[in-house]
């Protein structure tokens, strides 16, 4: 399975936050309307939501650390190879300019 891109990972985390928030709101709204037999189910759902929130925070921390590491690596590369970095930036600028100029 391929790695998720940063945009996909951010969207997934945002979607999970929305699902968790909606589920918590649903639990609050139906707290007084549940029968005795469904109280256990409600408690299990609450525990799973807590676990999901914890997992989401762990994923977010991991993604943040990886992004920081990538940023530091890019910064180190630019400091170690300044002229190559300038050449790469210029080449990317030319390619983007050509693509924009075509339209």
Cα(94)–Cα(44) distance, rounded to whole angstroms? 57
Mean pLDDT of 29-58: 73
In this model, does residue 12 exceed pLDDT 50?
A: yes
- 71, two tokens: 């940023």
Domain ranges of the chain: 6-102
Cα(22)–Cα(20) distance, rounded to whole angstroms? 5
pLDDT at 62: 84
Rg of the chain over Cα atoms, rounded to whole angstroms, equals: 23
Cα(98)–Cα(101) distance, rounded to whole angstroms? 5
Could you tell me the pTM of the whole model?
0.51
pLDDT at 33: 67
Q: Please report which helix (H) or strand (E) contains residue 103, including its range.
A: none
Kindly give the residue spans of alpha helices, DSSP state H, lying in the chain.
6-29, 39-80, 82-102
pLDDT (tens digit per residue) in 44-101 = 777 877 887 788 788 888 888 888 999 999 899 889 999 998 999 999 999 999 999 9
Mean pLDDT of 16-44: 72
Among 2-11, 12-21, 40-49, 65-74, top mean pLDDT goes to 65-74
What region does 35 belong to: left with phi over 0, alpha with psi -120 to 50, or beta?
A: beta
Q: In 3-state terms, what secondary structure has residue 2?
A: coil
């Amino acid at each position: 399975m391929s790695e998720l891109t940063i945009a996909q990972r951010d969207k997934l985390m945002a979607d999970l936050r929305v699902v968790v928030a909606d589920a918590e709101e649903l639990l609050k709204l139906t707290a007084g309307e549940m029968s005795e037999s469904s109280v256990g189910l409600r408690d299990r759902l609450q525990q799973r939501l807590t676990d999901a929130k914890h997992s989401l925070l762990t994923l977010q921390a991991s993604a943040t650390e990886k992004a920081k590491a990538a940023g530091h690596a890019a910064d180190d590369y630019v400091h170690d190879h300044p002229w190559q970095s300038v050449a790469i930036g210029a080449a990317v600028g030319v390619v983007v300019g050509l693509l924009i100029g075509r339209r």
